[in-house]
Amino acid sequence: MTSQESAVTPDGVATDSVIHDIGFRHYDGPRLGRGWAFRSLFYETLRGSFGLGRPAKVKIMPWVLIVLFALPSLVMVAITILTASEELPLSYTMYPVAISLVVSLFIAGRAPYAVSRDLRDGIMPLYLSRPIRRQDYVYAKLLGLSAAVWIFVATPVTILFIGALLAKFSVKDAIFGWLGGLLMAAVLSILLTSISLVLASFTKRKGLGVAAVLSTLILLNGFVAVLVSVVDMQSSETAASYFAVLDPYMLVDGLGAAWLGVDTTFLYSQPDGALGAVYYSAVLLVVVTGCVAILLRRFKKVGGV
Amino acid sequence: MSTIELHGVSRWFGNVVAVNDVTMSIGPGVTGLLGPNGAGKSTLLSMMGGFLPPSSGTVTIDGVPVWRNPELYSGIGLVPETEAMFDAMTAYEFVLANARLHRVDDPASATVAALEQVELIEARDRKVGTFSKGMKQRVKMATALVHKPKVLLLDEPFNGMDPRQRLHLLELLQRLGDEGHTVLFSSHILEEVEDVAGTIEVIVAGRQAASGDFRSIRRLMTERPHQYTVTSSDNRALAAAIIADGSADAVNLTSDVLSIQASDFGRFVHALPRIARDAGIALHDVTPADESLESVFAYLVAR
Amino acid sequence: MATITTSGLTKSFGPVTAVSNLTVELPSGVVGLVGANGAGKSTLIKMLLGLLSPTSGGATILGFDCLTDGLKIREVVGYMPESECLPLDISATEFLVHMARMSGLPADSARERAADTLRHVGLYEERYRPIGGYSTGMKQRVKLAQALVHDPKLVFLDEPTNGLDPAGRDDMLGLISRVSSDFGISVVVTSHLLGELERISDHIVVIDGGVLQRSTSTADATQFAGSLLVEVTDRADAVIAKLREGGASVAEGRNQGSFAVELTDDDVTGTVVAAVAELGVGLVRLQRKRHQLSEIFATNDSPVEVAS
């Protein structure tokens, strides 16, 4: 907006004063379309998972949990260095599934924030009237929350990596171990996110969503733990390993063993040879795609324009 | 003929005074109960219908207090705002059940009569759950009419209705009013009220702000100068003549319209035709600019 | 210059037909949409936004084909829903920036336009507080703001005065008029209240049961009818008698003191004023009667051909 250097008032007097036009401005700039909208929703979900862009009290829970989850890894690093131990007490792939309760707490708290809140607010008509497709909403939420969980899980894994370097372990081993840990963290994130979003998408009330996700994850954990030992008693360890896939943490644990050859955390989550590896991978694929399909179906029905 | 009388009625809920010292008399015909959201209209209707006792003052119908008086209930029909209904019943079944509850003689024919009155007779055997909002409203009306009450109380009856449904309901209410029923309905949408209510009662924050015909209410507001817009064959000359005459406070001349402010309503309206005739100016249009229900209401709320 | 054109637009869900063979052209400016309750209205909007495929027929909006150009349409169109749709735990500013980005605006433009739009709809310090604490009027403004923030060419406003008291209604109607006249954005507004639509619309479309009933400019629908409305302070019967003596055709009105005089070729207005002045009675009103939108509904039992 350029202001004139000297204007002239209606009665012919020159003046330096000027009135700027602050009326409605039209927008002639770029409209970045679907891809940008998708990214924006992704970032908003990711940021929202850590309470950024929200009032302070919403930030408390996620950050407390991050610290809680990372603390043991700091302690482990300290112990390893101080006792001049030859390896970390928990490996990069073992850590997240061993301390699974804290992970469950985190995602149980964040999944409703990603989805139940939108359902309760009734915001879908506003999104749908924008240049995205219905499925974009689901995928953006999935990716956003998965990214948040991955960051959550990757933090102590990375702390262990730094610790390994400080303890002067083999750099090559440390790097490969860390990358493997990050990969399995990603798999765990996507799996847990898919399941949690499906559960959260069936309720508008955040509290109910949190309870549903948390109780499902904890009950699965407990139930499967009993199941596999019973199967082992009745049959064999190998047979038990086929049932271990019912718990998401055991499933990821087994996948780590199958794909990366690392040790499993749990006794019964060791897949049985090549067949077992295929079986574990197939279960992962089926569960994730099944959950995505349910979510797409869910948001086709709910709260359209 | 039934008359609802309130004398010095107040109703409080803890520290919240929903109705504050209201005295009014509602007689036969259609009366509109107006007020902003939360002004106390629903509370007043509940007290008139016998659902709530007043915290102080008396609420009577034909001299008899309404509260805890079951014999009176058969003379009152209440159409509440809430939407909850028995979706699985048909319209006929629902109204019939109400007829039986009211111990109506010959409930079946009373039900048919009520359904005909609200023009739902063709849909009588359809489930209420399949009805539109307007039709559900009419079912509620039928249940309120089935026992042929003398008094009909309606809480926001036009809520969500499209213009055709609203017109039907207006006609029904007008008919009932003409037949001698005492009909009182509340609304916060002035447009709906203007057409049907001869008398209005205005409630603002629990206090009774005004009552009567809204045009007369406007005339009573002497502290506010009346606004008039006038067009004529020679606006400038007319403006000069009006000012010279002294019957207006202010005259505003815009491109083709005279805006006039007059505190003395009576004097101005008598003077205007005379002035025009004497000055040989032809009047094209004389319109009171703030006599609408909306203006009157805005003035009342602002006091 | 039509903004929206439909031809034979139909949508059925099994046995229920929500929109039936709709052929209509909506001009720019403010178009009021009446009568379509529930299924018909939302179905129509979904089809126009390219979110729902019609059973048959088609529509174009701003030159884009509703069947194929859905994404492009939603870049340049805004929508203000009737339902509750606002997140309650974030501020209006946060919300609007997010919505602007979701409409395709780059980050900086999104921020600037969010701030500007909030000013245009009349939200000042409130904009930094969570939306949950806003009054109904403020919430409606936020809803309107998210529909405008990306400078659309056209906005759909679904019952924008819902839940507002008379003063709030007034403000919102004024705002809507400004959107069309000052911001240069075409508006399609739905409402049940004919008085409101008469006030702000340039054009009215009446749809009932999914079928087009009328499409007419407001001017045409509210043209002068052939009579003069007169209201006097007292002695109306004397004035009426005098006018009838002079050969005028007079009908008594509903209220005391008001009546209608049929306009003929003679100077009816002059005659009335003369009579009033002579009898020394006060003249409260002298107005040419206009047709009203409500007349469409009073006589309508079957679809009428499109006028204008």
* pLDDT at res. B135: 79
* pLDDT at res. C207: 87
CB atoms within 10 A of CB C122: 16
- Asked if pLDDT for residue A305 goes beyond 70, the answer is no
- Asked if pLDDT for residue B42 goes beyond 50, the answer is yes
What DSSP designation does C306 have?
Answer: P
* pLDDT at res. C299: 58
pLDDT in tens, B60-119: 998 888 888 888 888 888 888 876 777 888 888 888 988 888 888 888 889 998 888 887
Question: Is residue A26 one of the residues assigned to a domain?
Answer: no
* pLDDT at res. C306: 32
- Asked if pLDDT for residue C301 goes beyond 50, the answer is no
- Asked if pLDDT for residue B182 goes beyond 90, the answer is yes
On chain C, the residues whose CB falls within 8 A of the CB of B189 are 193
3-state DSSP call for residue B284? strand
Of the residues B169, B174, B286, the best mutation for testing chain C's interface (the one with the most C CB atoms within 10 Å of its CB) is B286
Torsion of Cα atoms, C17 then C21 then C26 then C30, to 10°: -20
Does residue C171 sit at the B interface (CB-CB below 8 Å)? no
Question: Is residue A161 one of the residues assigned to a domain?
Answer: yes
What DSSP designation does C49 have?
Answer: T
Output the CA–CA distances (angstroms, integers) from residue C234 to B191, B253, B266, C169, in the order listed.
27, 29, 11, 35
Does residue A300 sit at the C interface (CB-CB below 8 Å)? no
Alpha-helical regions (H) of chain B: 41-48, 70-73, 91-101, 107-117, 133-145, 163-178, 190-194, 214-220, 235-245, 265-279, 293-301
Prediction ipTM score:
0.86
For residues B68 and B64, what is the distance between their CA atoms, to the nearest angstrom?
Answer: 11
State yes or no: chains B and A have 3 or more CB pairs below 8 A: no
* CB-based contact C168:C144 (threshold 8 Å): no
* pLDDT at res. A5: 52
Question: Is residue A230 one of the residues assigned to a domain?
Answer: yes
On chain B, the residues whose CB falls within 8 A of the CB of C280 are 270, 274
* CB-based contact B258:B246 (threshold 8 Å): no
Question: Is residue A119 one of the residues assigned to a domain?
Answer: yes
For residues C213 and C209, what is the distance between their CA atoms, to the nearest angstrom?
Answer: 9
* pLDDT at res. C29: 93
On chain C, the residues whose CB falls within 8 A of the CB of A130 are 74, 99, 102-104
**For the residues of C201-269, what is the DSSP string, one character each?**
-SEEEEEETTEEEEEEEHHHHT-EEEEEEEEESS-HHHHHHHHHHTT--EEE-SSTTEEEEE--SS-HH
Q: Between B36, B167, B282, which is nearest C294 by CB?
A: B167
Q: Which two tokens stand for residue A233?
A: 């008693």
Domain count, chain A: 1
Amino acid residing at B174: Q
Does residue C174 sit at the B interface (CB-CB below 8 Å)? no
CATH 2.60.120.1130 describes domain B4-221? no
Q: Which of C36, C195, C295, C21 is nearest to B132 (CA)?
A: C36
Does residue C254 sit at the B interface (CB-CB below 8 Å)? no
CATH code linked to domain B225-302: 3.30.70.100
* pLDDT at res. C39: 66
* pLDDT at res. B44: 92
Give me the long-range contacts of A167-175 (CB less than 8 A, separation at least 24).
A167/A77, A167/A80, A167/A81, A167/A84, A167/A85, A169/A86, A169/A87
Residue B161, phi then psi, degrees to nearest 5: -80, 145
On chain C, the residues whose CB falls within 8 A of the CB of A206 are none
pLDDT in tens, A248-270: 999 999 998 888 888 888 888 88
- Asked if pLDDT for residue A304 goes beyond 60, the answer is no
For residues B213 and C304, what is the distance between their CA atoms, to the nearest angstrom?
Answer: 37
* C195 with B283: Cβ contact below 8 A: no
Per mean pLDDT, which range of A204-208, B184-188, B191-195 is the poorest? B191-195
On chain A, the residues whose CB falls within 8 A of the CB of C150 are 27, 31
For residues A125 and A127, what is the distance between their CA atoms, to the nearest angstrom?
Answer: 6
More confident residue, C97 or B221: C97
Q: What is the 3-state secondary structure (H, E, C) of chain A?
A: CCCCCCEECCCCCEECCCCCCCCCCCCCCCCCHHHHHHHHHHHHHHHHHCCCCCCHHHHHHHHHHHHHHHHHHHHHHHHHHHCCCCCCCCCCCHHHHHCHHHHHHHHHHHHHHHCHHHHHHCCHHHHHCCCCCHHHHHHHHHHHHHHHHHHHHHHHHHHHHHHHHHCCCCHHHHHHHHHHHHHHHHHHHHHHHHHHHHHHCCCCCHHHHHHHHHHHHHHHHHHHHHHHHHHHHHCCHHHHHHHHHHCHHHHHHHHHHHHHCCCCCCCCCCCCHHHHHHHHHHHHHHHHHHHHHHHHHHHHHCCCC
Q: Which residues in C171-197 are b (16+ Cβ under 10 Å) and which e?
A: bbbebbeebbeebebbbbbbbbbbbbb
For residues C206 and C36, what is the distance between their CA atoms, to the nearest angstrom?
Answer: 7
- Length of chain A, in residues: 305
* CB-based contact A153:A185 (threshold 8 Å): yes
Q: Which of B213, B229, B134, B219 is nearest to B172 (CA)?
A: B134
More confident residue, A196 or B167: A196
Q: Between A58, A127, A304, which is nearest C102 by CB?
A: A127
Nearest-Cα distance to chain C for B231, in Å, is: 10
- Asked if pLDDT for residue C59 goes beyond 50, the answer is yes
For tokens 């056209």, the residue is: C154
Mean pLDDT of chain B: 87
CB atoms within 10 A of CB B302: 9
pLDDT in tens, C210-256: 888 889 998 888 888 888 999 898 888 888 888 888 888 888 887 77
Helix axes B133-145, B107-117, angle to 10 degrees: 140
Residue-range definition of the domain harbouring residue A93: 33-303
Average pLDDT, integer, range C35-59? 85
- Asked if pLDDT for residue B218 goes beyond 90, the answer is no
Rg (CA), chain B: 24
Give the DSSP H or E segment for C115: helix C107-120
* pLDDT at res. C304: 34
Per mean pLDDT, which range of A230-239, C45-54, C66-75 is the poorest? A230-239
Q: Which two tokens stand for residue B128?
A: 């209420």
For tokens 């949408």, the residue is: B189
Cβ-based interface (< 8 Å): residues of C facing A: 42, 45-46, 49, 51, 71-72, 74-79, 81, 83-90, 94, 98-99, 101-106, 109, 113, 116, 120, 130, 146, 150-151, 182-184
For residues C8 and C58, what is the distance between their CA atoms, to the nearest angstrom?
Answer: 7
For residues B144 and C133, what is the distance between their CA atoms, to the nearest angstrom?
Answer: 38
* CB-based contact B262:B248 (threshold 8 Å): yes
Alpha-helical regions (H) of B86-162: 91-101, 107-117, 133-145
Average pLDDT, integer, range C159-171? 88
Q: Which two tokens stand for residue A264?
A: 């499993």
Burial of C198 (0-12, 13-18, 19+ CB in 10 A): middle
Of the residues C284, C301, C304, the best mutation for testing chain B's interface (the one with the most B CB atoms within 10 Å of its CB) is C284
* CB-based contact B299:B217 (threshold 8 Å): no
Q: Between C75, C85, C146, which is nearest A33 by CB?
A: C75
* CB-based contact B228:C287 (threshold 8 Å): no
Q: Which two tokens stand for residue B25?
A: 């008399």
Domain boundaries, chain B: 4-221, 225-302
Of the residues C159, C242, C273, C296, the best mutation for testing chain B's interface (the one with the most B CB atoms within 10 Å of its CB) is C273
Q: Which residues are within 8 A (CB) of B60 and not within 5 positions of it... i.e. 6 or more apart?
A: B4, B5, B6, B7, B66
- Asked if pLDDT for residue C302 goes beyond 50, the answer is no
For residues C185 and C28, what is the distance between their CA atoms, to the nearest angstrom?
Answer: 8
3-state DSSP call for residue B106? coil
Chain A: residue whose CA lies nearest to C46: A305
For residues A125 and A94, what is the distance between their CA atoms, to the nearest angstrom?
Answer: 43
Question: Is residue A170 one of the residues assigned to a domain?
Answer: yes
Average pLDDT, integer, range B251-262? 90
Q: What is the β-pairing status of strands C186-190 and C154-158?
A: parallel
* pLDDT at res. A90: 85
Give the DSSP H or E segment for C78: strand C77-80
3-state DSSP call for residue B188? coil
Widest CA span in chain C: 76
* pLDDT at res. A206: 87
Beta bridge partners of B185: B32, B154
State yes or no: chains A and C have 3 or more CB pairs below 8 A: yes
